[in-house]
Amino acid sequence: MSSSNTLSDERIVEILAFEDTDISDCPELTDEQLARMKPRHPEYFIREKEAVQVNLDTAILARLKAGGGDYETRINELLWQAMRNSRLSRV
């Protein structure tokens, strides 16, 4: 991903600080409508992946697997979250 497709620290802070608004007057989307939705800026969602080997504590791995779904994707999500939180602490 090129640097022009990355979010600045200031934009990340702005996004995370956004408070939900009242959407009670918005119609619910159907499953068909949700299936057709695509990101407005897909360049932020396309990530190359590389296979790596990591040694994890047995208890951590068991808990990730017990959560259901793909535990490798969950590990990736947790690492992204930790990186975002780390970037914000420097802002």
* Sequence letter at residue 82: A
The answer on pLDDT for 55 being more than 90 is: yes
| Residue 22 pLDDT greater than 60, yes or no | yes
Structural domain spans, the chain: 55-91
Average pLDDT, the chain: 82
Task: Measure the CA–CA gap between 35 and 50, rounded to whole angstroms.
Answer: 28
DSSP character at residue 5: G
Q: pTM, whole model, 2 decimals?
A: 0.46
